[in-house]
Homo-oligomer: A and B are copies of this chain.
Amino acid sequence: MGFHESPWDLLRARHGDRSGSLVAPADVDPESKPGYLGGKAEGLATLASRAERLSELQELLYANGSRQGPSLLLVVQAMDTAGKGGIMRHVVGSMDPQGVSTASFIAPTDEEKRHHFLWRVRPHVPRNGFVGVWDRSHYEDVLIHRVRELTPLPEVQERYAEIRAFEQELVDDGTRIVKVMLHLSKDEQRERLAERLDRPDKFWKYSPGDVDERAYWDDYMDAYRIAIAETDTEAAPWFIVPANRKWYSRIAVQELLISALESMELEWPPADFDVEREKRRLAAS
């Protein structure tokens, strides 16, 4: 049991079969599971079985890293409780930690605030052969900054072009970029926050600020729509992943990573030594 149609095509914000028209979060049902017929039990089995393929492809990427091979950057954006943590644990976690570099971008420090908004993310661009994973990203600077007016609107407007240029620079340097919005419904978020308030082992994940942000839900969806429209490119595409079913969003993101890595068509690096000679030396050692 697996996807009967590729999430890469189905979840892309800019559908090829819609003559390049853009999809907004409002067009996507957070409850849906595009391309997948099975239910939760099958989904968990798919997650487990495809983890091996993902892991294999990631090793291939890593193996090519030492000869200036490409890298992959996964950007994950979402409203609170949408399941970023689960993606990190269950999808990213199935790859070899030696070849994965994760970075989490919370509220900026005073020093970060004094710099250009791209300053703090640049050191986390993955090196050759690595899968970089960003839990939130430079998109915070056009999402919460737009919604909560942390930056004047004209300046936010300029940032979209800066983001396009930045991402193009990464692509030119050999980084493949996959940008994911985990798309949750406002009701489902209420249920998930309620669960955190019901369980003492979840209190630490709860912040009263989470409820404050809910008042701006529609503004956030609008900010996502604009950010996606402004920065979705062939080189750095956006995907809107329905996230009301945690298991679905996990197998969908897993499949997006697999598709991105497969499209690189990598091969195992050839020996840069004389294999037969080394066999003789080893036997004699």
Contacts and interface: CB of A to CB of B under 8 A. Distances in A.
A89 B52 CA distance: 12
Given A204-B63, A269-B204, A279-B197, A133 B285 contact: no
Contacts of A105: none
Given A97-B89, A200-B268, A204-B66, A211 B104 contact: no
Nearest to A207: B273
Interface in A141-196: 190, 193-194
* Chain A contact surface mostly: helix
A11 B203 CA distance: 37
Contacts of A95: 93
Contact of A98 (B89, B194, B269, B271): B89
Q: What is the interface residue range for chain A against chain B?
A: 35 or more
Contact of A102 (B97, B104, B193, B203): B97
A208 interface: yes
A213 B78 CA distance: 49
Interface in A33-74: 55, 63, 66
Interface of A: 55, 63, 66, 85, 88-89, 92-98, 100, 102, 104, 133, 135, 190, 193-194, 197, 200-201, 203-208, 211, 214-215, 268-271, 273, 275, 278-279, 281-283, 285
